[in-house]
Amino acid sequence: MNEQRQQTLSGFSGLGMSAADRNRVLRNTYWLLALSMVPTVLGAWVGVTSGITQMMGSGLSAIVFLAGAFGFMYAIEKTKETSTGVFVLLGFTFFMGLMLARLLAMILGFKNGSSLIMTAFGGTAVVFFGMATLATVIKRDLSGMGKFLFIGALILLVAGIVNIFMQSSALMMTLSVLAIVIFSGFMLFDIKRVIDGGETNYISATLAIYLDIYNVFQSLLMILGVVGGERD
């Protein structure tokens, strides 16, 4: 994920693109982003119904997640200029849905689990449409905020790994709130880059925005599970 972010922070180098080209990249990004939700849902369904991720401990699950995520993102980077990149990206989103199953299964264990998931989905949609709208309105260059967001994401990653062993609910809640703030900012930043022509590859753009959405949804779900989960 860090490699993807470092490329995202390389600057708004595509400002010479025509408006038609920028709109084409943005349109393709949104279409692929919408399509990527299908394998995500399918992966989550497979994970919940099979229980495969629940059988793994927290440590093993983290190792599988990091190895799989970085492996897929490396493959996406290598194939992003070809149609193969689309299929690799969709495979990645299936994997991410599978990795989300552990959290979803826990939430579904609550009496109101289904409504919590729908609330998190709705909240994520509101954040996405809000950031997408804001990106079209803001005229200033946002490239400077990228470095601060990147540092914040690194801190979250390290603290999240530490909390796998600490198992602190207070730290988890704090990290979840910070993740919503940081990845909402990344969502604005990544969409704005596409609009301004800083990102010229729609597969890379989709990957960046997908990760933003995924992290916001996951963090919202964690918070809702802690504060709103109802036991039978």
- Over residues 138-162, the mean pLDDT reads 87
pLDDT of residue 74: 95
pLDDT > 50? residue 106: yes
Q: 180-204, pLDDT tens digit by residue?
A: 999 999 999 999 999 998 899 999 9
* Residue with more model confidence, 35 or 171: 35
pLDDT of residue 18: 79
Q: How many percent of the chain have pLDDT more than 70?
A: 91
- Over residues 137-143, the mean pLDDT reads 86
- Over residues 128-155, the mean pLDDT reads 90
Q: Round to whole Å and give the CA distance between 116 and 150.
A: 29
Name the average pLDDT for the chain.
Answer: 88
pLDDT of residue 117: 95
pLDDT of residue 16: 57
pLDDT > 80? residue 83: yes
Q: Round to whole Å and give the CA distance between 89 and 50.
A: 23
Q: Domain map of the chain by residue range?
A: 2-228
Number of Cβ within 10 Å of residue 28's Cβ equals 17
- Over residues 29-44, the mean pLDDT reads 96
- Over residues 30-54, the mean pLDDT reads 92
pLDDT of residue 3: 46
pLDDT > 50? residue 9: no
Banded pLDDT at 24 (limits 50, 70, 90): very high
Q: Give residue 123's Cα distance to chain centre.
A: 14
- Over residues 78-103, the mean pLDDT reads 95
60 in Cβ contact with 86 (< 8 Å): no
84 in Cβ contact with 32 (< 8 Å): no
Banded pLDDT at 58 (limits 50, 70, 90): low
| Secondary structure (3-state) at 198 | coil
pLDDT of residue 79: 96
